[in-house]
Amino acid sequence: MPQDSPHSHWFAAHVLPHEPMLRAWLRSRFPSGLELDDVVQEAFLRVLRAHARGRLDSPKAFLFATARNLALDRIRHRHVAPSAPLVDAEGWDVLYDADDVAETVARNQELELLTEAIQSLPDRCRQVFTLRKVYGLSQSDIARRLGISEHTVSAQLTIGVQKCTQFMAKYRRERSSP
């Protein structure tokens, strides 16, 4: 990507300012053995790719969700792919963990779908929803931060939950119909 491209300006304005907060957030939630630089760089790359494919309404939320998913994938990979080869037959009990792998894949797909659902919300609703559900701010903190009433925060959260539920239900219906 050329340094003077529109993507580099967009990245510098909408993504890069969140790097310190992202690193602090990852450090507080994941073990110290996590290759933090790799996760951050891969998240940046995925955000840029998503931006190149179309407009990202909330690059910060997408960045944090992507970094979280990457960190979880790396941690899971460490547990799934042992560093030492299995030598004896006791390793065959790994076959019974197949349900865990399927559940992990399904959970990752659900998280990606939820991220899409959140991205589809109207701007104010997405802001409120993200501040409450992703960052865990209280309704009064959100109201103060955004300069709106707590009643508006509550209403936007209700709308956000309903729209995300509808989005996911529609996806499931489309996937299950022949």
Residue 99 exposure: Cα atoms within 13 Å on the Cβ side: 2
Domains of the chain, first to last:
1-87 (1.10.1740)
- Whole-number Å distance between alpha carbons of 103 and 125: 30
pLDDT digits (tens, 9 = 90+) for 14-60: 888 988 888 888 888 877 777 888 899 999 988 888 888 887 788 88
Task: Report the C-alpha gap between 78 and 1 in whole angstroms.
Answer: 32
| Cα Rg of the chain, angstroms | 19
Question: Distance (Å, rounded) from C-alpha 108 to C-alpha 102?
Answer: 10
Can you give the pLDDT at residue 89?
Answer: 44
pTM (2 d.p.):
0.45
Q: Are 29 and 67 in contact (CB under 8 A)?
A: no
Give the 3-state secondary structure percentages of the chain, helix then strand then coil, rounded to 5: 80, 0, 20
Written as tens digits, the pLDDT of the chain (178 aa) is 555 667 788 888 888 898 888 888 888 887 777 788 889 999 998 888 888 888 778 888 889 988 998 888 887 776 554 444 444 444 444 444 445 566 666 677 777 878 888 888 898 998 888 888 878 888 899 999 899 999 999 899 899 888 888 888 887 777 776 6
pLDDT number for residue 84: 44
CB 123, CB 155: distance < 8 Å: no
Terminal-residue alpha carbon distance, the chain: 41
Residue 152's pLDDT is what?
92
Task: Give the model's pLDDT for residue 144.
Answer: 92
Using CA atoms, how far apart are residues 5 and 2, in angstroms rounded to an integer? Answer: 5
